[in-house]
Amino acid sequence: MTVPDDSFIEQIQASKQSDSADSKLATYETPLVTVDIVIFTVLDNKLKVLLIQRKSPPFAHMWAIPGGFIHTGETLEEAAERRLFEETNVKGIYLEQLYSFGKPNRDPRARVITVAYYAMISSDRLKLEARANAENVGWFDIKELTELAFDHLDIVHRAVARLKERLKDSNFAFQLLPEKFTLTELQRIYELILEQKLDKRNFRKKILSLGILYETDETKMEGYHRPAQLYSFTERQKVLMYEL
Amino acid sequence: MTVPDDSFIEQIQASKQSDSADSKLATYETPLVTVDIVIFTVLDNKLKVLLIQRKSPPFAHMWAIPGGFIHTGETLEEAAERRLFEETNVKGIYLEQLYSFGKPNRDPRARVITVAYYAMISSDRLKLEARANAENVGWFDIKELTELAFDHLDIVHRAVARLKERLKDSNFAFQLLPEKFTLTELQRIYELILEQKLDKRNFRKKILSLGILYETDETKMEGYHRPAQLYSFTERQKVLMYEL
DNA sequence: TCAAAAGTGTTGTGTGTACACCCATGT
DNA sequence: ACATGGGTGTACACACAACACTTTTGA
């Protein structure tokens, strides 16, 4: 949550005080609405999420997923895209609504309902478009998350579960890879997300039979062994993904 | 949308007027949040949804899915359960969050974000616990919906799509059936939702192999032909469903 | 005995899984 | 020549799809 947002919530709280005499507001609430985004990448052969360290209470100094209030005229998705861009400087990537979280006391200051989204970014785009912002931002291994601010741990867990499901029936891992990649790199993504080893021959047989990859004329040398063929996803596959 | 809710939205609009001088509110909005529920049943061998006819503008006289504002202290799910109960007098049925809808002008009066849920009720419970309420309420064939208030047609379409997905990988159609039912009745539910004919022998073989049904010692006579064996879902299956 | 839905098995096809060796490269 | 990951094919098990006749009942 950014600084302007934090001051916004205080202001809203102040304006609520004056309404509190009204009996209607005892029954109905006017909750605040945020969007929060779980941003995944693969770094050091681990599935990681982007977290921001909070500066002020509640949950000061704890880590949280990026999020914020919706601007006037924005759709939910546009708000999520904007926040994604603000944190990563990356635009035009696949973003999917995850779930809405609305437990009454998830934010101790006020009733805040959040619509959570998730996205994936390949690590090569991260390096190129590093963030100038002074905030404490970092990538954290999803296996090592213990405590997060608010109910953000629940949100991350649900995002990981969704990622697994999605990968099973509509293989869309390409957001996590550079434009060109080896089949072994692709397999590693699958293994990381599904948390299981896959058979090399069966994996290649299946992924190639889907007809969503094409072989480029380049190879990639890494270490003192046979170079690997580079593949790329077809445009058709990319379009299909956005139609999910 | 019920009458108290409609007066609530007007009241909120009035209070907004006084805030409008504040520059902060030009950037950030304080949207209202509702829950809306798509309630399915099977009647006359058709998949139907519960709709309520609106009494006042906007979309006066048009049909809409039930929904309303969240009460103080309620979770989103509790609000949905409450509205479901208010419309159907049925409690304790499976309810699942569908999606959140937040296009800026989906409600012309104000920025309203809705968290949509869906549920299924067997037609036998409907007959028993008919609704005393004087509102115009009815069950409508999903194939014959043309116009609905707000973006409710989108919401219903998405709920139907979710129902199809769910049925494929986690067969949970039992909410749409009475406690005891024939295999043909179960097959009809599948065919209605998936919109395709299924082979009788293959369907029975598969559904029985799942071990989620048991044969009761009763049969059901309907018409002048051989009576059908009645089956029931195991408790285990019902528990599994709530763990989705 | 007829009409109408209930009930029942077998076979082919395709998909997923298990498994071991040769290839190309730089040192 | 060797160490390292890249690359390849076959056999078996299982799930899914196609398909037609007998059974039980009331009229």
Would you say domain A1-169 falls under CATH 3.90.79.10? Answer: yes
Residue in B with minimal Cα distance to A32: B30
Q: Which SS3 state, helix, strand or coil, does residue B95 take? A: strand
B202 strand C contact, CB < 7 Å: yes
Q: What is the pLDDT of residue B24?
A: 47
Would you say domain A170-244 falls under CATH 3.40.50.10800? Answer: no
Residue A123's pLDDT band, with cuts at 50, 70 and 90, is confident
Residue in A with minimal Cα distance to B79: A102
CA A112 to chain centre: 20
Q: What's chain B's average pLDDT?
A: 88
Backbone φ, ψ for residue A84 (5° rounding): -60, -45
Q: Where are the domains of chain A?
A: 1-169, 170-244
Res. A146: pLDDT tops 70? yes
- Torsional class of B93: left (φ above 0), alpha (ψ -120 to 50), beta (otherwise): beta
Distance linking the first and last C-alpha atoms of chain B? 29
Residue in B with minimal Cα distance to A10: B24
Using C1' positions and the CA of B183, the closest nucleotide is C6
Instruction: Inform me whether the C-beta atom of residue B19 falls under 8 Å from chain A C-beta atoms.
Output: yes
Q: Which of A12, A70, A102 sits opposite B76 (nearest CB)?
A: A102
Which H or E run contains B108?
none
Condensed to tens digits (0 to 9), the pLDDT of residues A15-34 reads 655 554 444 446 887 899 99
B195 CA to D20 C1' distance (Å)? 25
Residue B29's pLDDT band, with cuts at 50, 70 and 90, is confident
Residue B50's pLDDT band, with cuts at 50, 70 and 90, is very high
**Cβ pair A50, A142 in contact under 8 A:** no
Those of residues 54-113 in B touching chain A at CB distance below 8 A are 69-76, 97, 99-104, 111, 113
Using C1' positions and the CA of B221, the closest nucleotide is D25
Q: Residue B208: exposed, middle, or buried by beta-carbon count in 10 A (0-12, 13-18, 19+)? A: middle
Those of residues 166-205 in B touching chain A at CB distance below 8 A are none
CA distance A109 to chain B (A): 14
